[in-house]
Structure 1
Amino acid sequence: MENSSLLPVVVPTRSHSLVELPPSVARYVEAGLHGAENTKRGYAADLRSFQDYCEHHQVLHLPAEVTTVAGYVSQMADRGMKLATIRRHVAAIAKLHQLAGQPSPTGHEALQVVLDGIARLVGKRQRQAPAFTVAELKQSIRAMDVTTPTGLRDRALLLLGFAGAFRRSELVALNVEDVELTRQALVIHLRQSKTNQYGLEEDKAVFYSPSADFCPVRAVQEWIESLGRTSGPLFTRMSRGTQVRPAQPGQHRLTDQSVNDLVQRHLGISYSAHSLRASFVTIAVEAGQSNKAIKNQTKQKTDAMIERYARLDDVKRFNAAQYLGL
């Protein structure tokens, strides 16, 4: 039987043609086609749903017809699913066809018309994670029992997540060795992020606070000291008795969902892990920080993304009408 690793690699291109490449490039092709791990997991669940729909209606899911995808997204809209969720399912279907080297129905003009109609009827405005205030964050920190490992961890995660404008996927991926203490700040070395999937290291700086109780640098230092190790996952789950789990590389790392649960436990059910990042942007904009300064921390690529993240729709707090001099 011929070794499959010696076979040429057939790659679907954006124009749906196929390019044959030597087997030595196979692992790079795999990484380029599949993308980030979180994306793959999300797409897998969406594609199971799409395949179930196709089996129920006795139509092909690969290659799928435009009418099939249109019916699928219409059903999701009728069930009250969010526009963002519907678009994610469409992206998953597009990725499935790309990986299979099949023309994707998702780019067809007729489907775009259907999606535009769904957007008008369902509403384009997605529910966004609200931003908390610094006062709310401080109140949640005061309520923690930082004499316990759980309290130390939670304080460090909330303060670092907010001051560093971290995504939850970035927080859970951090290792102890990614944290560097300098005289001016705590520097976090990001090996990969949503907007940097090619492994180019990016740095975030977190600075000392005048108050030790709310200082992200001191909080992270105390948490690392409690871990008693210099490598492995930075934020870990707790075993029974609220003890830190053993430092086994890659194991017992907090999950995305556990970060979300942690934020809601301390700040309230209306908030989410994304509120850490949204709050940073909102408070920085309110403080008059430049878009360049904000992007240095968030690693966003455009000013438009800052506008999207900032929660400045409270007409009583953010309104030029209060500065008219009347």
Structure 2
Amino acid sequence: MTTDKNQTVPPEVGSPAPLPVANEASATEQPAAFPAHLDGLADRARGYVEAASSANTRRAYASDWKHFSAWCRRQSLSLLPPEPQIVGLYVTACASGAVGGDRKPNSVSTIERRLSSLTWNYAQRGQPLDRKDRHIATVMAGIRNSHARPPVQKEAVMPEDIIAMLETLDRGTLRGLRDRAMLLIGFAGGLRRSEIVGLDVKKDQTEDGRGWIEILEKGLIVTLRGKTGWREVEIGRGSSDATCPVTALDTWLSLARIAHGPVFRRVTGQGKAVGADRLNDQEVARLVKRAALAAGVRGDLTEGERALKFSGHSLRAGLASSAEVDERYVQKQLGHTSAEMTRKYQRRRDRFRVNLTKAAGL
């Protein structure tokens, strides 16, 4: 295990070349520079690298690498080459709350994500990290056995909750009309928050768009580039204009005079002016939380408990939990590759539907 107090920490993710440490004996040899006429291809290659993962994933990987780098620097340990023993000590520190700046031990899911981030970052530097090495695998097995907790899931907002949430929005402002459309489209489509704000009016209208819409007589077709590739989502018209996602979207686009570019944008000027910028996906989470609290959803809980219950995922979970149809249709709508993943979103929907106690004769 090599140490070097004066080591230069590699920069953030995204560098295509291996990165050296200050210690010349362990420095990684830099590859020869590309000819100038290949600069365009190199730029495009970097663009494809970015397109391979979402912006949220890249931010998380960069943050975790920075976290690990800072820990190594404080311990006078070298980042390169990857040492399983060092990584094993790092995840142990994360589990015990012994990493500077962390006030309490990291959860198992956070440690798993940090380990995935390190694996990805080392791979980008051409120096793979072996996660199956005993110094990592055995420590992680012990961490899971000692600290694992049941997964904390966000509350599913059911149809009656959505209706109550819609009533808290101002129909007289563009912001209220936009928020109604986002809630209804997100719920009926079972969309992720990044998919909601990533929609464009038509195909190939923006560089950062992740899909587009097509309003038809019987409903809405949403074409999405999601985690599992391209997929089409059908959103049918509702039984009432007041709760119809297609009507809400059409109203928003018409009154906001949006015919090109991002569907959901910032609204300024006391809710009367529409900007050109696409909404951040965090706005969806804030909207769901704000509307759910205003509508009194889960009023049996304290204010603090309720604030932790809702997020953008509440919309996807709500559709999965309330749609009384064959599970495979829900799986297709949510874009899941397995039925098991879909069942994780179906909060209590199928509990006791099959009673094995009675079926066994008791």
Q: TM-score with structure 2 length normalisation?
A: 0.75
Equivalent residue number for residue 345 of structure 2: 309
The Cα offsets for residues 75-125 of structure 1, whole Å up to 9 and x where unpaired, read as 222233222211111111011111111031434233122112212222152
On the 8 A contact 1:93/1:106 being kept in 2, the answer is no
Q: 1:234 aligned to 2:263?
A: yes
Shift of 1:193: 1.2
Residues 31 and 120 (structure 1), Cα distance of their counterparts in 2 relative to 1, 3 Å cut: farther
- What is the one-letter code of the residue matched to 2:268? S
Q: 1:129 aligned to 2:154?
A: yes
Deviates more, 1:259-268 or 1:100-109: 100-109
C-alpha separation between the residues in 2 aligned to 1:229 and 1:258? 19
Q: 1:278 aligned to 2:326?
A: no
C-alpha separation between the residues in 1 aligned to 2:48 and 2:137? 26
C-alpha separation between the residues in 2 aligned to 1:54 and 1:105? 18
Residues 234 and 58 (structure 1), Cα distance of their counterparts in 2 relative to 1, 3 Å cut: same
Q: TM-score with structure 1 length normalisation?
A: 0.82
Q: 1:50 aligned to 2:86?
A: no
Equivalent residue number for residue 3 of structure 1: none
Unaligned runs of 5+ in 2: 1-15, 19-31, 97-103, 203-211, 294-306
Equivalent residue number for residue 46 of structure 2: 30
Q: Secondary structure at the match of 2:88?
A: helix
- What is the one-letter code of the residue matched to 1:225? S
Q: Secondary structure at the match of 2:73?
A: helix
Where do 1:240-319 residues align within 5 Å?
Answer: 240-247=269-276, 251=277, 253-268=278-293, 269=307, 270-284=309-323, 287=324, 289-312=325-348, 318-319=352-353
Structure 2 residue corresponding to 1:211, chosen from 240, 261, 279: 240
Q: 1:183 aligned to 2:217?
A: yes
The Cα offsets for residues 9-54 of structure 1, whole Å up to 9 and x where unpaired, read as 989xxxxxxxx99958645653565522322111111111110000
C-alpha separation between the residues in 1 aligned to 2:118 and 2:151? 21
Equivalent residue number for residue 94 of structure 2: 76
Residues 62 and 282 (structure 1), Cα distance of their counterparts in 2 relative to 1, 3 Å cut: farther
Q: Secondary structure at the match of 1:145?
A: coil
Equivalent residue number for residue 251 of structure 2: 222
On the 8 A contact 2:321/2:345 being kept in 1, the answer is yes
| The structure with more radius of gyration | 2
The Cα offsets for residues 224-257 of structure 1, whole Å up to 9 and x where unpaired, read as 112202111111122231233333xxx2x11121
On the 8 A contact 1:132/1:279 being kept in 2, the answer is yes
Equivalent residue number for residue 26 of structure 2: none
C-alpha separation between the residues in 2 aligned to 1:133 and 1:323? 29
Structure 2 residue corresponding to 1:153, chosen from 168, 178, 184: 178
On the 8 A contact 1:168/1:256 being kept in 2, the answer is yes
Q: 1:65 aligned to 2:83?
A: yes
C-alpha separation between the residues in 2 aligned to 1:111 and 1:32? 31
On the 8 A contact 1:82/1:126 being kept in 2, the answer is no
On the 8 A contact 1:94/1:106 being kept in 2, the answer is yes
C-alpha separation between the residues in 1 aligned to 2:144 and 2:179? 38
- What is the one-letter code of the residue matched to 1:121? S
Unaligned runs of 5+ in 1: 1-8, 12-19
- What is the one-letter code of the residue matched to 2:79? H
Q: Secondary structure at the match of 2:131?
A: helix
- What is the one-letter code of the residue matched to 1:59? L
Residues 185 and 323 (structure 1), Cα distance of their counterparts in 2 relative to 1, 3 Å cut: farther
C-alpha separation between the residues in 1 aligned to 2:163 and 2:65? 42
Q: Secondary structure at the match of 2:119?
A: helix
Q: 1:163 aligned to 2:197?
A: no
Q: Secondary structure at the match of 1:70?
A: helix
Deviates more, 1:300-309 or 1:257-266: 300-309
Residues 145 and 109 (structure 1), Cα distance of their counterparts in 2 relative to 1, 3 Å cut: same
Q: 1:195 aligned to 2:228?
A: yes
Residues 84 and 151 (structure 1), Cα distance of their counterparts in 2 relative to 1, 3 Å cut: same
Q: Give the alignment's Cα RMSD to 1 decimal.
A: 2.7
**How many residues get paired?**
297
Identity %: 29
